[in-house]
A and B are shown apart, each in its own frame.
Chain A
Amino acid sequence: MSETVSHSKTVKKLSLVVLAMFGFGFALVPLYDVFCDITGLNGKTNDTAATYNANGVDESRTITVQFITRNAQGIPWQFSPVINSIDVHPGEMKFVKFYAKNKADHAMTGQAVPSVSPGMAANYFNKIECFCFTNQPLAAGEEVEMGLQFYVDQDLPSDISTLTLSYTLYDIGKKSS
């Protein structure tokens, strides 16, 4: 019957749309990351090392970079920046340290996740070396100083004079083991 045939055609087309939209829901995950990467929205910084390619230092501007740290639930570490803020000129390389101590009575693995505020500045904050690129295992009571080497790009919009770099420390021991 021609009627039945045309029904199954329409049903097939609509089912394809359903499948495509189910896939689209999952495609939104990488798309979201790509979108945030390109636009620097959401304060997401690169999670791989940048290479230094600034041409010279712009001494006419001074940017204050503030460091804050936060522990996610379930990680009893002491985690803090060694210095709370630092003044840099765009293009100038700086090296700062963060302190971490595992206060639990067993070995744990931590992972620091960075975020820059204002979010638009994230693309101009370049990390040459960062402890956040890898996870950090610490034995019970062990302490460590972790390094961060960075520079601020000269193209940083002129209305931004203060950056805040925030690290949230997560316990990923359960996930990675």
Chain B
Amino acid sequence: MTTDVIEQESHDEHHDDHKMTGIKRWLYTTNHKDIGTLYLWFAFIMFLTGGAFAMVIRAELFQPGLQLVEPDFFNQLTTVHGLIMVFGAIMPAFTGFANWMLPMMVGAPDMALPRMNNWSFWILPFAFSILLASFFMESGAPNFGWTFYAPLSTTYSNGSTAFFVFAVHIMGISSIMGAINIVVTIMNMRAPGMTYMKMPLFVWTFFITAYLLIAVMPVLAGVVTMLLTDTYFGTNFFNAAGGGDPVMFQHIFWFFGHPEVYIMILPAFGIVSTIIPAFARKRLFGYSSMVYATASIALLSFIVWAHHMFTTGMPLFGELFFMYCTMLIAVPTGVKVFNWVATMWRGSLSFETPMLFSIAFVILFTIGGFSGLMLAMTPVDFQYHDTYFVVAHFHYVLVTGSLFSIFAGTYYWLPKWTGHMYNVTLSKWHFWCSLISVNLLFFPMHFLGLAGMPRRIPDYALQFADFNKWVSIGGFAFGLSQFIFLAVIIKCIKGGKKAPAKPWDGADGLEWTVASPAPYHTFTTPPSQADIDGIYKDEH
């Protein structure tokens, strides 16, 4: 599909491509655009897989009592849903964006390490095959939650720990290779004349995210290795009987886990910061404050991990320290939201689909941020901990935050990727259906959580029945809405109105100086200084 279009186009224009055909092209490819496409399709398939699990979860929770699945299988579904969405959908989708856009945005011919790029994608399907295959094993899939707390994943493991650990190891290696590639590309391959403070904000956010990945993915690899040796080789890292400590697991896990949540949101900031100026027809308000805010969020993310653990019994000083540090993150995040709003202020706004998703992102991500502030307060966290309030919070930041930015970015660059304009009517249907259903899906979860409904349970008390029914209906509607997205993309790849090199009149950036669809090889000669200086124009 994408293959055909790009192939045709580039064969017409570039007869020296030496591309392989068929499956070999995709297996052996070292082209950043091909690998970006692979990442994006992989992420979408994983998104539908994880979404299918969520549908079963919501069907079971449609009414109280056990109807469809056994509690143990329910736990496997919530665990694998979380793992797939985090490591299989959101992160690979962002890596896909990085692969497609970064070289074009910095004026480089390709990523710095193309062969490693091929590897970092092609080991991913194996990781998720291992994880998903565990459903068909005697033990069943991991059932200890995506946070795999010891001793649930060691002493009380259902036997799936080894599959889980190896899958996470492979995902981690893939992420680290991808991150190294991004850093090297940005540091060494920028076009002459593009200084750091001239880079598009999209590039900055991926640069900082890649550093976060390099810093914390090895810690994740370490903690799952300890888990593996505790479960199968008799070590006692987390086993109190042997002098270990299960609470230490949570400290090490969340030392990875909290930067991880910024790994999933900083690229979203970059995408939205690219799209809002384009459709407000103004330059991004406060570019340098955006860069510094992104960097401060990344630095602060290393000293807030224990806010996930307020109820483990921490001394008062610890609780206060982690509470204040967490609240401090609201400052740079507030700077960002302020800048997005200020960019739109008195702009000549138009509401194309990427802009709709970006505005929804700003509003709904902020709701998720506010519920995060509520959770950051130690005394109230004791009430909210492990309730649906937490589920509502992180789905607002990850679904209406990260995922909406991925939708926005996809619509924004789809003309550049495929050479066609997408079907506007269908895309607006996708937006409005998603927007309404996602709020029906996640907003009542706040009330359920405040009323005391615990998370990760297959059954619940009768008083939660009405809200859960609405939540499930919202869930099914949101799930179905994503097929509209699939339809838009397939239609767009197959045909549609020809897209000009720059379909958005307000858009900035080097990627719009090349033809649509982007030729197989771009910037084999660096862009001109005038093009680079033109990235941030004052007037359009």
Q: Which of B314-344 contact A (CB under 8 A)?
A: 314-315, 318
Contacts of B112 in A (CB 8 A): 7
B217-244 residues with Cβ-Cβ distance < 8 A to A are 217-223, 226, 234, 236-237, 240-243
Question: Interface digits, B345-361 against A, CB 8 Å rule (1 contact, 0 not)?
Answer: 00000000000000000
Q: A111: which B residues are within 8 A, CB to CB? A: 241
Residue A11 interfacial (CB < 8 Å): yes
Number of interface residues of A (CB under 8 A): 33
* Nearest-CB residue, chain A, relative to B180: A14
CB-based contact B245/A32 at 8 Å: yes
Give chain B nearest CB distance to A52 CB in angstroms.
25
A56 at the B interface (CB under 8 A): no
Q: State which residues 1-57 of A face B: CB under 8 Å.
A: 3, 6-7, 10-11, 14-15, 17-19, 21-22, 24-26, 28-29, 32, 39, 41-42, 47
Most buried by B among A3, A14, A26, A39: A14
B184 and A119 within 8 A (CB)? no
Q: Is A175 an interface residue (CB 8 A)?
A: yes
Q: Does B540 contact A (CB under 8 A)?
A: no
B251 touches A10 (CB 8 A): no
- By a CB distance below 8 angstroms, the chain B residues around A119 are 313, 315
CB distance from B192 to the nearest CB of A (A): 12
The distance in angstroms between the C-alpha atoms of A39 and B187, with both chains bound, is: 42
Which of these, B180, B218, B236, B243, contacts A25 with CB under 8 Å?
A: B218
**Is B214 on the interface with A (CB-CB < 8 A)?**
yes
A96 interface residue, CB < 8 Å from B? Answer: no
Task: State whether the Cβ of A171 lies closer than 8 Å to any Cβ in chain B.
Answer: yes
- In angstroms, how far is the closest chain A Cβ from the Cβ of B288? 25
Docked complex Cα distance between A41 and B318 (Å): 10
Residue of A nearest to B247 (CB): A42
A172 at the interface (CB under 8 A from B): yes
The one of A3, A21, A42, A168 that contacts B214, using a Cβ cutoff of 8 Å: A21
In the complex, whether A83 has a CB less than 8 A from a CB of chain B is: no
Docked complex Cα distance between A26 and B244 (Å): 13
Chain A 89-143 interface residues, beta-carbon cutoff 8 Å to B: 111, 113, 119-120
Residues in B whose Cβ lies below 8 Å from that of A72: 240-241
Contacts of B243 in A (CB 8 A): 47, 113
What residues of B have a CB within 8 angstroms of the CB of A29 in the complex? 226, 237, 248, 252
B202 at the interface (CB under 8 A from A): no
Report the separation of the CA atoms of residues A2 and B217 in the bound assembly, to the nearest whole angstrom.
Answer: 30
Cβ 8 A contact of B241, one of A3, A39, A170 = A170
**Chain A residues proximal to chain B, CB less than 8 Å:** 3, 6-7, 10-11, 14-15, 17-19, 21-22, 24-26, 28-29, 32, 39, 41-42, 47, 72-73, 111, 113, 119-120, 168, 170-172, 175
Query: B residues within 8 Å of A by Cβ?
Result: 112-113, 155, 176, 180, 183-184, 187-188, 214-223, 226, 234, 236-237, 240-243, 245, 247-248, 251-252, 255, 313-315, 318
Q: What are 5 A-to-B residue pairs whose CB atoms are below 8 Å?
A: A22-B218, A24-B219, A25-B220, A25-B252, A113-B243
Other 19 A-B pairs with CB < 8 A, given A7-B184, A18-B217, A168-B240: A3-B188, A11-B113, A11-B184, A21-B214, A21-B215, A21-B217, A21-B218, A24-B219, A24-B222, A28-B251, A28-B252, A28-B255, A29-B226, A32-B248, A39-B315, A41-B314, A73-B155, A113-B241, A175-B241
